[in-house]
A = this chain, B = another copy of it.
Amino acid sequence: MGFPHITRGQDLGSAICDTIRSNRVELMDGDVLVVTHKVVSIAEDAVREEGQVQVSERAKKIAACNGMDPVKVEVALRDSVEVLRETPVLITRIRSGLITDYSGVDRSNAPPGCLVLLPTDPDQSARRIQERLKQEFNRDVAVIVSDTQGRPWRRGAVNLAIGVSGMSPFTVNAGRTDLYGRTLKSSLVCIADELSSAAELLTGQADEGIPVVLIRGVRVAKGETGASGIIRPMSENLFR
C-alpha cells in the first residue's frame, strides 16, 4: 500500500509506522530508512503561504537578476542566517549549517499556494522518527532525512543526507587493508550521502509518491554525529 498523503502538522512518525504495518514489513535491526525532507517539512509545518509573504526590495532585485520568483527569493532570504552569494544563484547558509541554493526553498510537491522550507533541525527530525520506530517496533533502525541538492561544479542534483540519527554518517576505512595488505591511511566515505543517493532512485522528484525508502543489508557504523557532522567547518572550506 502506498504512503499516505502528508498534510501540514500531520504526525509523520505515525504515518510511517502505519505504512510499515499495513505493508506487513518486518523491520530488522540495522535497517536504514531514508525519508525525503519534503514530507518531514510539511508535517513539521515548515512551509510559507505565498500570499502572505511581503517581498522586500532586496529580494525583488535578486530575483530579477537571477530570473527567479521574488516570493521564493524572499522566503529563502528570511530562512537564511548568512548570504554567501546573491547572483547568478542565491547561495545561503541556513540555521542547520547547511549551505545550499535558495535556502532549499522549493515549490514541487508543496501544499497548494505554499513554498516548503528545509526542516529547522533535520538531525532532530531524524531522531524523532528513529525513536518512534524503536518505541513501536523495538528495532534499532537508522533514519536519514534527505534532500536533492545541486553541486557547485557538477551538473545535476543528487540526493544527500541533511538529517541522520541512529548511525554514523561515515564509514571509516583508515586502518583497514587493501588487496595487497597495505593499511589504508585515510579513507572516509560519507555513506549517509551514498544511501540517500541510492534511495533517490526510488523516490524520484515528481509524482512518484514514494517519500520513504527502506534499505536493508548495508553495514553502517554507530555514531551520534548527525548530518551536521557532514558539513565542513568554515575553516576547512576551501571555496569561501
In angstroms, Cα B151 to Cα A200, docked, is 19
Query: What copy number does this chain have within its complex?
Result: 2
In angstroms, Cα B229 to Cα A156, docked, is 10
With contact pairs A156-B230, A189-B156, A231-B154 given, residues A178 and B206 touching in the complex (Cβ less than 8 Å): yes
A222 CB–B CB distance under 8 Å: no
| Nearest neighbor of A168 in chain B, beta-carbon distance | B156
With contact pairs A108-B182, A180-B112, A239-B152 given, residues A158 and B194 touching in the complex (Cβ less than 8 Å): yes
A190 CB–B CB distance under 8 Å: yes
Binary B-proximity of A149-176 (CB < 8 A = 1, otherwise 0): 0011111111110000000011101001
With an 8 Å Cβ cutoff, the count of chain A residues facing the other chain is 61
A177 / chain B contacts, CB cutoff of 8 Å: 206-207
Residue from B169, B182, B206 in contact with A184 in the complex, judged by beta carbons closer than 8 Å: B206
B187 touches A108 (CB 8 A): yes
B189 touches A238 (CB 8 A): no
B207 touches A176 (CB 8 A): yes
Task: Tell me the residues in window 203-237 of chain A with beta carbons closer than 8 Å to chain B beta carbons.
Answer: 204-207, 209, 218, 229-232, 236-237
A83 CB–B CB distance under 8 Å: no
A207 / chain B contacts, CB cutoff of 8 Å: 176-179, 181
A24 CB–B CB distance under 8 Å: no
In angstroms, Cα B194 to Cα A200, docked, is 8
Q: Please list the residues of chain A having a beta carbon within 8 angstroms of any beta carbon in chain B.
A: 5, 85, 88-89, 91, 99, 107-112, 148, 151-160, 169-171, 173, 176-182, 184, 187-191, 193-195, 197-198, 200-201, 204-207, 209, 218, 229-232, 236-239
In angstroms, Cα B171 to Cα A224, docked, is 34
A91 / chain B contacts, CB cutoff of 8 Å: 238
A178 touches B237 (CB 8 A): no
In angstroms, Cα B173 to Cα A149, docked, is 14
Residue from B85, B153, B154 in contact with A193 in the complex, judged by beta carbons closer than 8 Å: B154
A197 / chain B contacts, CB cutoff of 8 Å: 158, 193-194, 197-198
A191 touches B201 (CB 8 A): yes
A88 / chain B contacts, CB cutoff of 8 Å: 238
Minimum CB–CB distance from A38 to chain B (whole Å) comes to: 9
B205 touches A159 (CB 8 A): no
| Nearest neighbor of A234 in chain B, beta-carbon distance | B153
